Amino acid sequence: MSTLPRRRVTRLVVPLIAASLLAACGGEDPAPSGGASASQPAEKVTLTVALFSDFHYAPLYEEFKKTHPNVTITERRAQFNDHHNNLVTQLATGAGAADVVAIEGGFITTFQQVPDKFYNLGDYGLTSRQSEYLDWKWQLGLAADGKTLLGLGTDVGGLAMCYRPDLFKKAGLPTNRDEVSALWPTWDAYVETGKKFVAGGVKDAAFTDGPGEHFRAMVEQAPVGFYDASNNLVVATNPDVKKAFDMGVSMIQNKLSGKLTAFTPEWTTGIAKGTFATMVCPAWKTGVIKDQKPGEGTWDIAAVPGGGGNQGGTHLMAPKQGKHPKEAAELINFLTSKESQLTLWKDASALPSLPALYEDPAVATFVNPYFGDAPIGKIFTDAAKALKPQHTGPKSGDVLLAMGNGLSRVELQNQAPEEAWAQAVSDAEKIK
């Protein structure tokens, strides 16, 4: 899902997939396990699920096994970077992939290039789910042919901004979420608020964690991102990409950044200890915050600058290395069902991919006491409804890495901003 340490690609190190992975395509597909009913499989079956964080699936596995008593589910987790790197290698070498894998939204297009490496979930009846989904989320689960169903969506990452009222109070800033939201209708206003926070002299706390997630959010709010609709790389010519990069540089130059990368140990410690006061906050990240146990009411939620948006979100897919595609497809179907998505919203703030649930009072009117009784149902569903989906090109994750590395060079190596930009563009244009 994108619920959890999932969904970020600011400094991913995912190797280019095309040559090795495409060359490895072909060969015989494993024969589907067959014959028996879902509730009475003909043999003992073990399914391995590979995730990049705690998706809070454990109770759902137990529920699934009530109707699949002969199925044992094992889960393995890796750090976000390693998870996607490992899958690239596993698909290229033909060994080691799990039966069910989670793919974060920033990298879904990478794996769409190799549909022969995954089972077509349509062969197991899951195309019947199409009408339930946000259209753009469903389309992300299809191969490039627009027909082959590679994955079903779990959550989406409706955007907000999380902040620490206690640190805002120390800086002399408003603490009420409506007043905080009014501070930053735009990203420029967000930077100006950060300057006021710094001037407030709050000890041992930066205004925000780091520029990478903000850069990503700003790019993904634009009509066009790294690629145009014809999959041409437009980093060098898209003014919205340069504007987002310059915003990141401004954050660095004005000392707003805590120089932290999302999902590192230092970052999670910062959430608990209050070493930064704001962070870009898709719905799933509220679950990450709660998992760090900073204390009820320590964090609150305001609107994100620039309006709505989406960041992250995940699809579940079944690599063909798995020997039990029928059961894998049934597990994917169960974990993404309406009931399961509603459960995960309540347990982990994973915003559903199914718009019918946005009208369900359990979502639409949900108030979270852990975040100062923030009406997170309204905040995140409004953000999701306002989203105008952006075309995601074939190497968007790798391009984001190149851009993030450029900002890191400015922040950590004192590279001149224009040099960092030129190098980032050059690095992006070398990605094939």
Amino acid identity of residue 302, one-letter, is A
For a pLDDT cut of 90, what percent of the chain falls above it?
73
**Confidence class of residue 184 from pLDDT cuts 50, 70 and 90?**
very high
Q: Flag whether 382 is in a domain.
A: no
103 and 184 belong to one structural domain: no
**Confidence class of residue 79 from pLDDT cuts 50, 70 and 90?**
confident
394 and 287 belong to one structural domain: yes
CA end-to-end distance (rounded Å), the chain: 27
Q: Flag whether 3 is in a domain.
A: no
Residue 157 burial (C-beta neighbours within 10 Å; 0-12, 13-18, 19+): buried
What average pLDDT score do residues 199-213 get?
A: 96
Pairing state of beta strands 151-158 and 100-104?
Answer: unpaired
Q: Flag whether 381 is in a domain.
A: no
Q: Flag whether 12 is in a domain.
A: no
Q: Flag whether 225 is in a domain.
A: yes
60 and 147 belong to one structural domain: yes
Look up the CATH number of the domain holding residue 44: 3.40.190.10
Token pair for 29: 């597909």
Helix (H) or strand (E) holding 207: strand 206-208
Question: Which of 103, 50, 39 has the alpha carbon at shortest distance from 74?
Answer: 50
Q: Which of 333, 348, 373 is the last residue of a domain?
A: 373
What average pLDDT score do residues 174-187 get?
A: 97
Q: Flag whether 136 is in a domain.
A: yes
Q: Is the pLDDT of residue 33 over 70?
A: no
**Confidence class of residue 42 from pLDDT cuts 50, 70 and 90?**
low
401 and 283 belong to one structural domain: yes
291 and 315 belong to one structural domain: no
In whole numbers, what is the pLDDT of the chain averaged over residues? Answer: 89
180 and 217 belong to one structural domain: yes
Q: What is the residue range of 91's domain? A: 18-156+311-373
Residue 243 burial (C-beta neighbours within 10 Å; 0-12, 13-18, 19+): middle
CA angle, 116 then 119 then 125, to 5°? 135
Helix (H) or strand (E) holding 361: helix 361-364
Helical ranges in 31-79 per DSSP H: 58-67
Quote the number of domains for the chain: 2
250 and 319 belong to one structural domain: no
282 and 146 belong to one structural domain: no
342 and 220 belong to one structural domain: no
- How far from chain centre, in Å, is Cα 367? 23
110 and 204 belong to one structural domain: no
Residue in the structure block whose two tokens are 């003014």: 239
Q: Flag whether 380 is in a domain.
A: no
Residue-level pLDDT at 383: 78
The predicted-structure confidence for 337-357, as pLDDT tens digits, reads as follows 999 999 999 888 899 999 999
- DSSP calls for 129-142: GGGGS-HHHHHHTB
Question: What DSSP state is assigned to residue 16?
Answer: P
Give all strands of the β-sheet with 45-51 in edge-to-edge order.
71-77, 45-51, 100-104, 310-317, 151-158, 351-352
Q: Flag whether 2 is in a domain.
A: no
What average pLDDT score do residues 316-333 get?
A: 98
Question: Which of 342, 324, 383 has the alpha carbon at shortest distance from 56?
Answer: 342
Map residue 191 onto helix, strand or coil: helix
276 and 329 belong to one structural domain: no
394 and 284 belong to one structural domain: yes
What average pLDDT score do residues 93-102 get?
A: 97
